[in-house]
Amino acid sequence: MPGTEAALLGGPGQTLTDEQVTTFISDELSAAGLDGRSVCVIVPDATRSCPLPLLLKAIHATLTGKVTVLVALGTHAEMSKEDLTRHVGSDQYDVLNHEWWKPDTFADLGTISAARVEEISGDLLYDEVRVKLNRAVVEHDVALVVGPVFPHEVVGFSGGNKYFFPGVAGQEVIDLSHWLGALITSSRIIGTPGVTPVRRLIDEAAALIPAEKLALSVVVESGTSNLHAVAFGDTQSSWRAAAAVSAETHVRYLDHPVRRVVSVMPSRYSDIWTAAKGFYKVEPVVADGGEVILYAPHVTQLAAMHPEIEEIGYHCRDYFVGQWDKFRDIHWGVLAHSTHLRGEGSWDPATGEHLRVGVTLATGIPEEVVRGVNLGYTDPASFDLTQYENDPDTLVVPNAGEILHRLR
């Protein structure tokens, strides 16, 4: 199947019915030669819009062998049993969290050499990396990725092999891939079509997976359970087909930059580690010296699983690169997250850090914590959203975090 074109249902501007989606999944999986084979179904956690219960119901109704559902947490927080049941739509499935915090979670697939990393990264990195993956994937005959494709700040467009790396991967590949994306910068890589250097690294790691790799890649109407499209094929062809639809669906173009953006963050983002997508997706349209306000009164912490961010704060790429000996031993994925939320900027030892755009939090995080990590603060209790909605210099983005905003 590698190298073939994916089967595609739907497209930009279309809305598929549940019956259409169910029939497509049944037909494609029935023809894929999966009878009696064990299948590990890798799915997103609750931070992505996706009609997962519909998709998994159709999959379980079609497959005849052992089926295990593995939630691609990356390094996000563990989902409770109740949350998992609600997330997948049933308590009858065999569902696993990706327990990335446990060493025995992983199988060692081998190494990508420093020379190969240098080639893939375009000379940005020269580091050997161990490739470790959740052993549930390699203990099944087939790995079936099921999830949405959106513009993404690290890899260009999410989906496909990204559900393996970083979705159910070990820390080594997570750190290397995210830092590579940070070196390129979020504003340059987000929504980039085709195979970016980070995507190339992820594909290189995925080639080491012994299981057959297939994907049901979906394009979701952001914030809903509606699907514009679903593609089935190997993880690369399926992703390509869905990414092409996402590029026409999840990107909003503006004619002119704006002075300010207020990103209204939905409840699926429970900390700034995830809610920072409200900045990534709008940074390209903010004027120099402008501001992005993340309005999320429900958010009460910076990063549930990554307290290191409170120690280093939020800074641009050059701040870390220019002081690499000081920061190189901190998880590179944490450094990458820091740069993604502060965006473009510069640093030098004489004049310090200069940031293109200001970032302000209107959240439940205490003011001293927010200011202590180099971000602006405003009290959410006195925040008047209507005032900003009526301000011609401000763009208010409801349900922020999935739609990329760009200048024409």
> What was the pLDDT predicted at 223?
83
> What was the pLDDT predicted at 187?
94
The answer on pLDDT for 1 being more than 50 is no
pLDDT in tens, 292-347: 999 999 999 999 889 999 999 999 999 999 999 999 999 999 999 999 999 999 99
Query: Among 228, 249, 270, where does a domain finish?
Result: 249
Confidence class of residue 121 from pLDDT cuts 50, 70 and 90? very high
The answer on pLDDT for 69 being more than 70 is yes
Q: Do 85 and 169 sit in the same domain of this protein?
A: yes
Query: Among 180, 214, 249, where does a domain finish?
Result: 249
Q: Do 158 and 280 sit in the same domain of this protein?
A: no
> What was the pLDDT predicted at 75?
83
Those residues whose C-beta lies under 8 Å from the C-beta of residue 41, and which sit 6 or more positions away, are 56, 59, 67, 68, 69, 70, 144, 146
1 lies in a domain? no
199 lies in a domain? yes
Q: Do 166 and 294 sit in the same domain of this protein?
A: no
75 lies in a domain? yes
Question: Residues in the chain, how many?
Answer: 408
Q: CA–CA separation, 364 vs 383, rounded Å? A: 12
What residues does 217 pair with on adjacent strands?
147, 231
Q: Do 257 and 225 sit in the same domain of this protein?
A: no
Give the CATH number, domain containing residue 340.
3.90.226.30
Start-to-end C-alpha separation, the chain: 37
Q: CA–CA separation, 137 vs 43, rounded Å? A: 12
> What was the pLDDT predicted at 74?
85
Query: Among 201, 216, 249, where does a domain finish?
Result: 249
2 lies in a domain? no
Q: Do 273 and 181 sit in the same domain of this protein?
A: no
pLDDT in tens, 17-45: 999 999 999 999 999 999 999 999 999 98
Taking a C-beta distance cutoff of 8 angstroms, is the pair 241, 217 a contact? yes
Sign of CA dihedral 262, 267, 268, 272: positive
Nearest 5 degrees, angle CA 392-CA 384-CA 397?
55
Q: Do 46 and 139 sit in the same domain of this protein?
A: yes
> What was the pLDDT predicted at 2?
43
186 lies in a domain? yes
What's the whole-number average pLDDT of the chain? 95
**In this predicted structure, which of 46-50, 111-115, 373-377 has the lowest mean pLDDT?**
46-50
pLDDT in tens, 221-253: 988 889 999 999 999 999 999 999 999 999 999
* % of the chain at pLDDT higher than 90: 93
Q: Do 395 and 260 sit in the same domain of this protein?
A: yes
Q: Do 403 and 386 sit in the same domain of this protein?
A: yes
Q: What is the pTM of this model?
A: 0.94
Q: Do 396 and 266 sit in the same domain of this protein?
A: yes
Q: What is the 3-state secondary structure (H, E, C) of 277-322?
A: HHHHCCHHHEEEEEEEEEEECCCCCCCCCCCHHHHHCCCCHHHHHC
Q: Do 257 and 179 sit in the same domain of this protein?
A: no
For residue 402, which of 217, 278, 294 has the smallest C-alpha distance? Answer: 278
Domain extent for 270: 252-407
Q: Do 230 and 262 sit in the same domain of this protein?
A: no
Q: Do 310 and 239 sit in the same domain of this protein?
A: no
Domain count, the chain: 2
